[in-house]
Structure 1
Amino acid sequence: MLPGHHGQDMLVKLAEGKSSKNKARNFNQTVSKRGFALRVAIAYISVVCPAGLGTVKHPILPIQDMAKEIFRSYEDKLLAGRSVESAHGLFLRFWRTFRQVQPESKVFQVHSQDRLRFCIPCKLHVDEGTGVRKSAVLQCSWGPILASGGASWLRYFFWSCMGHESYRRLNVGFECGNRVVDSLTQEFANQAKAALETGIATKHGTFYLCFVCVEGDLPAQAKVFHCKRNFQCVPNPMCPWCGADGFAIPFTDVRAGASWKATVGRDVPWINRPPLADLTSNGEGSFLAKDLFHVVHLGIGRTFLSSAICFLINMGHFVPTDPHLGRSIPVRIHEAYDDFKQFTHHILKKTPNVKHWSRENLHWTGPRSMPENSFKASDTPLMLAWLLDYLGRPFQPNNFISNMLACGQGLDDFMRICAKADRVFMTQKEARLAVGALDKFVSHYVRLAADANSDGLVFFNLTPKLHYVDHVRMDIRGQLQHQRIFNPMAFSTAMAEDYVGRASVISRTPHQLAMPLRTAQKWLIETRLRWRGER
């Protein structure tokens, strides 16, 4: 670098860090002062200390301050990539459609019909990422539902993060909550409520950030919303949206007149009021988003595929052509994976994340073991496509084969319809096709489970996530009389998982005592580069 270069003084300043203790501080301060980071001041809030006695200061990026910076220089990020006039019309269409799903939402109590065009629909997201040495990092973020693009950096904005050591000692179960996490989410709720009620003054008028749901996987939602009824409670009441259980109100009932449907929204899912209930009218469970990514790709979809593979092997499929290899179950599982791998490479032109199948990773260790897997979500559509191709080959007719094929077709059609439709709005035709596909999947899946049970076989587990998918079906069916239907894919958290992964990579680099602060500082730098197209 030649003398007089505009970056010379910055390098000199960075070189003044004489020890490793202050190099991170000098770097972040110098880069921020020279305008290479978003102009959002880091604030500090009081949270319960890890030991449970007293409070400590914790860094955050205030919601309203972040929104002001976005409106100052990157307003399209909150206006769905549109002009202000076009965004007004889009917001009005969103709220008309959303009222069909959640007419009790607090947004409609706070804001009049005329003001809804200034109301930006937003969501909160809470999830645990992977920090240093594979320890958990709680990542809290927020973002617009109507995003300006598909990238995770356009959909989720950092609010704060917290290392697992800061709150793990005070875990006392979902129902009772966690005092450290509750103190953090209380401030989260306070800021979200202020953004909802007072808004953000801009040159185009005052815009309001209206938070309509909290996203996250099922454990994260149960933790921050103090869910007494959650997926771990079977056979007791296990659904945050209704009173279904494993006894009097069976969650496995998928008929049109299922008794649990009369209990939807009747009671709140908590006993100890959670802080995030302040963003709702009465603390209703509808504030918990129904996430297709976790209930299908990482849920009932994986369960169905694992059972289908193991059931086919149990029926005698995938016998090796080489008789010297034998016909043992491990050999046939290996043969099934080879068939799957050939299909993905030569037909789909893709590479699966999972590198082998075995009795262990299919959780099929014996005749009394219910098949399941913990593969990546990206493997679910690949395995489904392969299974449909395999079941379509010329086999001798069989009730199980027919039901598995119909079940797979229903699931594939449903996910394809939702993915190809507009991210938020479905047409009436698309919604009818989606409901029909879900009807096909759910009915044939339950039939498979019943037939297997009648034959004394342990396959096709009826899990809570099958019930949660039935709630999605019920929501869509309830809107079919309208012209525009809310797409359940709007709250799918595939890109949220990407955001959490990227934010957690930042959280792994600094010392863990300074991790929340350094993550916020580096996120401001990283996001500015991405929003300006410099990275």
Structure 2
Amino acid sequence: MLRMMAQCAANKGNECRNLHKLIHKTGKTLPVDISSEPTKVVLLSGRPRVATIRYPILYLSAWAKQLFSTGGQMLLGGHSLEDPDAYCRMLRVFWQRFRHVRPEHDVYDRADAEAGFDLGFCIPVAIHGDEGRGKLKRPVMVLSYQPLISFKGPRFVNSSGHSFTTRLLFTVVPSEMYYKQQTIDTLHAAMVRDLQSLYSDGITVWKQQTLKFRFVPVMLKGDWPYIRAAAHLATGFTSKRVCHLCSSEATRFG
């Protein structure tokens, strides 16, 4: 398969088309439902213009449905749905320890107040953003979800392994398509609606018995361009005030 993938680059200029064709032809696609969200972007084909299009996204609920259908190990610290004692114990230990870090998190109030709200079925996740470089080294924003507990288990950091196995893609946005803050804000709003449902209502899985899992967002993380865009920060590398956590101004050299 690797040899066949390498051959996709033989026809210069059509590498992506060739790779996509090969992946579909060999049945290597992952059946995760693709959704879309009406989003205002800048279209560059022809005369550049602003338009609202249905932008493709992958909800965490769609990822969860697919991953649980094959055992759920990536979301359950390497444990299978068939071993509830192991993953429930692992998740309860996580939340017991995390309480020392974020005692004010809403998940603890709900666990204390609501019957049936079991921390052993609450999966902690982070939102990750990174503005990397794409074709011609142009900036491209990659938004994804990241389970806080590694698929290798809690003894490993959650970035251990290939990024394909540590993050779940939400969407990718080339920087030339950004329409001010609206593009990222609209996509974030769609992500939040799905996360709120996964936290409040949960997702039901059948495995010998009915199991209800909840996904609990605990942090937003990423590189500085993403954090600045996500939080609408006025601070940054090119600003007089660089850090949003302190009021001091940067001293520049050179």
User: Which band: TM-score by shorter chain?
Assistant: 0.7 to 0.9
Shift of 1:225: 1.2
Shift of 1:101: 1.4
Identify which of 55, 58, 62 aligns with 1:58: 55
Change in Cα spacing, 1:109 to 1:58, as seen in structure 2 (3 Å) is farther
Change in Cα spacing, 1:66 to 1:235, as seen in structure 2 (3 Å) is closer
Which residue number corresponds to residue 294 of structure 1?
Answer: none
After superposition, the C-alpha distances for 1:475-503 in whole angstroms (9 at most, x for unaligned) are xxxxxxxxxxxxxxxxxxxxxxxxxxxxx
Q: How does 1:348-387 map to 2 (within 5 A)?
A: 369=253
Shift of 1:36: 2.6
Which residue number corresponds to residue 215 of structure 2?
Answer: 209
Shift of 1:165: 1.1
Which residue number corresponds to residue 39 of structure 1?
Answer: 31
- Check if 1:105 corresponds to 2:111: no
- Provide the aligned C-alpha RMSD in A: 3.0
Q: Contact conserved, 1:234 with 1:246, CA < 8 A, in 2?
A: no
Structure 2 gap ranges (5+)? 1-13, 44-48, 153-159
What is the rounded CA distance, in whole Å, between the counterparts of 1:39 and 1:144 in structure 2? 20
Which structure shows the higher helix fraction? 1
Which residue number corresponds to residue 143 of structure 2?
Answer: 140
Change in Cα spacing, 1:232 to 1:193, as seen in structure 2 (3 Å) is farther
Identify which of 163, 166, 169 aligns with 1:158: 169
Q: Partner of 2:38: helix, strand, or coil? A: strand
Question: Aligned partner of 1:84: which letter?
Answer: P
Q: Partner of 2:99: helix, strand, or coil? A: helix
Q: Partner of 1:48: helix, strand, or coil? A: strand
What is the rounded CA distance, in whole Å, between the counterparts of 2:27 and 2:109 in structure 1? 41
Change in Cα spacing, 1:235 to 1:142, as seen in structure 2 (3 Å) is closer
Identify which of 70, 75, 79 aligns with 2:72: 75
Q: Partner of 1:100: helix, strand, or coil? A: coil
Identify which of 18, 21, 34 aligns with 1:27: 21
Shift of 1:116: 1.0
What is the rounded CA distance, in whole Å, between the counterparts of 1:124 and 1:97 in structure 2? 20
Change in Cα spacing, 1:93 to 1:228, as seen in structure 2 (3 Å) is farther
Question: Aligned partner of 1:239: which letter?
Answer: H
Question: Aligned partner of 1:164: which letter?
Answer: S
Aligned residues: 217
Shift of 1:119: 0.2
Shift of 1:214: 1.0
Which residue number corresponds to residue 131 of structure 1?
Answer: 134
What is the rounded CA distance, in whole Å, between the counterparts of 2:112 and 2:63 in structure 1? 25
Which residue number corresponds to residue 245 of structure 1?
Answer: 247
Shift of 1:58: 0.8
What is the rounded CA distance, in whole Å, between the counterparts of 2:199 and 2:110 in structure 1? 8
Q: Contact conserved, 1:40 with 1:69, CA < 8 A, in 2?
A: yes
Q: How does 1:4-403 map to 2 (within 5 A)?
A: 27=21, 30-31=24-25, 35-50=27-42, 53-82=50-79, 83-112=83-112, 114-149=117-152, 150-151=160-161, 152-167=163-178, 170=180, 178-204=181-207, 205-228=211-234, 235=241, 238-240=243-245, 244-246=246-248, 369=253
Change in Cα spacing, 1:102 to 1:196, as seen in structure 2 (3 Å) is same
Change in Cα spacing, 1:136 to 1:26, as seen in structure 2 (3 Å) is closer
After superposition, the C-alpha distances for 1:210-238 in whole angstroms (9 at most, x for unaligned) are 111111012311210112456665558x3
Question: Aligned partner of 1:215: which letter?
Answer: K
What is the rounded CA distance, in whole Å, between the counterparts of 2:241 and 2:141 in structure 1? 29
Q: Partner of 1:189: helix, strand, or coil? A: helix
Shift of 1:121: 0.7
Q: Contact conserved, 1:127 with 1:216, CA < 8 A, in 2?
A: yes
Which structure shows the higher strand fraction? 2
Q: Partner of 1:158: helix, strand, or coil? A: strand
Shift of 1:131: 0.5
TM normalised by structure 1 equals: 0.37
- The farther-off stretch of 106-115 and 141-150 is 106-115
Shift of 1:41: 2.0
What is the rounded CA distance, in whole Å, between the counterparts of 1:55 and 1:226 in structure 2? 22
Shift of 1:102: 1.5
Q: Percent identity?
A: 24
Shift of 1:143: 2.0
What is the rounded CA distance, in whole Å, between the counterparts of 1:35 and 1:198 in structure 2? 34
What is the rounded CA distance, in whole Å, between the counterparts of 1:63 and 1:100 in structure 2? 27
